[in-house]
Homo-oligomer: A and B are copies of this chain.
Amino acid sequence: MAVITPERLSLNTATTRAQWKLDQAIEGCARHGFGGLSPWRDQLQALGAEKAARQIRDAGLAVSGLCRGGWFTEEGALTDAVLADNRLAVDEAATIGAACLVMVVGGLPKGSRDIDGARAMIEDGLAKTLEYALTVGVKIAIEPLHPMYAADRAAVNTLAQALDICDRLGDGIGVAADVYHIWWDPAVKAEIARAGKERLYAFHLCDWLVPTTDMLNDRGMMGDGVIDIPGLRAAVEAEGFSGLNEVEIFSAGNWWKRDADEVMEIIIERAATCC
């Protein structure tokens, strides 16, 4: 398996969200020789999607994804507002030439205990967004989130569940496989093989720390935790996945407090030695 060189890396801008606005992240990725980046929509909208697209293109960077569409359950029903926002996300993904629009699908509606109902609402939202995305040529990537987020962020929690949805919805929809969310799953390698190149749209890196002190913002740098990242990378690459290795670290206590250029350098080092 080839070592990950900088041009095979993508910076998910959440990793440096405390330090860099999007224009700075674009410059930072170019300066450190990254192959691409994956912006979040709040930062993209702050800069302007057209302007961002130009800057990204001028910097010679690829866009491994746009984070994020979804949140279909946020208003307790699949409202026009939710669907319109997802269409806007599709348009933004098209504008910046994103390899996919990453979907964090939403958890239980406020006050609800009906997870089956939430999952039906999510699938309906995905189907309607996919319908639009197909017309503009944007790929939809369902990101199964770790089961600890089932209540409040995403009720799609395994690759198997995401792929079952993909099978029902057809072409143009696949998965974003984030090692943080899937490493624990006894079926992870079987489901990566089931996804295959056709459904593997994104591959996200970070690490699971022991102990984990915050359920959202205590992700680790690759190598600092317990995930067998090389094993998972080998599995996706065995299927022919050739997208960038996207680094997405939420870290209020550590990496968000460091100098962003130092973070980039450590990412490059760890990608080469721990992934």
- A-side interface residues toward B, CB under 8 Å? 108, 112-115, 119, 146-148, 150-152, 155, 157-158, 160-161, 183-186, 208, 210-212, 215, 225-228
Contacts and interface: CB of A to CB of B under 8 A. Distances in A.
B161 A186 contact: yes
Contacts of A183: 115, 150
B210 A212 contact: no
24 contacts: A108-B210, A112-B226, A113-B226, A113-B227, A114-B228, A115-B228, A146-B147, A146-B148, A147-B148, A147-B185, A148-B148, A148-B215, A151-B184, A151-B208, A151-B210, A151-B225, A152-B210, A152-B211, A155-B184, A157-B184, A157-B185, A158-B186, A161-B186, A212-B215
Interface of A: prevailing SS: loop
Contacts of A148: 146-148, 212, 215
Copies held by the complex: 2
Contacts of A208: 151
A33 to B, nearest CB: 28
Contacts of A157: 184-186
A172 B151 CA distance: 34
A57 B115 CA distance: 41
A187 to B, nearest CB: 8
Nearest to A207: B113
Contacts of A211: 152
A77 to B, nearest CB: 18
A208 B114 CA distance: 13
Nearest 3 CB-CB pairs, A to B? A150-B184, A148-B148, A147-B184
Contacts of A155: 184
A175 to B, nearest CB: 15
Contacts of A186: 119, 157-158, 160-161
A223 B210 CA distance: 31
B147 A108 contact: no
Given A119-B186, A186-B119, A186-B161, A113 B228 contact: yes
A184 B115 CA distance: 8
B119 A226 contact: no
Contacts of A152: 210-211
Contacts of A113: 226-228
A54 B225 CA distance: 47
Contacts of A226: 108, 112-113, 151
Contacts of A112: 226
A112 B210 CA distance: 11
